[in-house]
Structure 1
Amino acid sequence: MRIISGKYKGRRINPPKGLPVRPTTDMSKESLFNILNNHFNFDGLKILDLFAGTGNISFEFASRGSEPITSVDGDFGCVKFIKQTAAEFDFPIAAVKSDVFKFLEKCNSNFDIVFADPPYDLDQAKFEKVVLLVFENNILDEEGMMIIEHSKHTQLDHLANFSFQKNYGGSVFSFFEFETDEETEDDDFDDEDYEEE
């Protein structure tokens, strides 16, 4: 995988084989950060990366100047790799080995962006629980945004605070924000599926 923008743009990061992950593709990642770039200045954003896997998304935020970043995953190998890479690049990332649901139930911190990429075969109810815990426990800042990556077979648009979603090949990004009186401005992007080559 490679970092697509920021201080370390173009740098490749090679995780060890055998990690139980399904990394977000470069094409999907680039599309995601193009959307976020319309909403945020990345510098100094406080990030929570759930089901962080190889740390792909965390590294991208760090390269763009976001800090601090908390990466949570239940797999020891993933957490070890994130810690090693963060040390190598001097990224402000704290890698935490924890069950994500237990982490969210105990978390008393607040973040500007919460990104979650659970295994696609996770039960629908557990996908919903991730979103509910983030909002019920005030983990997301009032001006912040939560993004959850999932397959087309998981539907989250019925949940409270759902804002919009974008489809990229077999992946879907669902965006959540605290409801306001103003409509979300997203005129630069259409809702048609983007099929990766």
Structure 2
Amino acid sequence: MPSIAMIVEGPGDISAFPTLVAKTGAMFGMDLFANKPIKAGGYHRLALPGQVERFVEMAAGREGIDSVMIAVDLDDGCPRDAADSLRRRAESVSQLFGKPIKLSFCVREYESWILHDLANLKAFAAEYNWDANYVCNSPEQKRGAKEAVEKAIQRKYKEISDQQALTKKLNLKTVYVASRSYRKFCKEVTGLSYGQMAAFM
């Protein structure tokens, strides 16, 4: 089973991303495993001098891992430009360990992917007090996805528990169709091309 050492942003991501990685792999007939991601803060922290290199060294030095993946929110800016800069720096370290680098941004927040699947979650995560009439258009076009989830569930959104709980209930095929940034995540984490992935949809 391919093991991925993940570098993520916050406490909710530590529990949610292993679930997302496993579910994404299963969607494409693959067994993928990400255990105990490393919390590094957001993109702007990783972009500081020496920071992404430090965290990649921590991840790549773990025993039994096959690759390193950086997956953080990109609240602002161009995903391509940010990825090119961060990937070059990360690869300068990962190559020393012989581990490939995978990199993906949640545009604009991880919760944007949750918002893409509201119809399904209202039906299959009934333990939440969903506002039946709430609709969120274009979740990745603006910041405030966490606040939008709070409006949908009509209470405070708790990242540490709710992020993973909602990830478990996501219909990832719906998210894949709706979200360009999630499709990029799938491509990075599986190593498949867009054409190869399309055959599973």
TM-score (normalised: structure 1): 0.38
TM-score (normalised: structure 2): 0.38
Q: Kindly indicate which of the two structures has a greater share of residues assigned to strand.
A: 1
Q: Kindly indicate which of the two structures has a greater share of residues assigned to helix.
A: 2
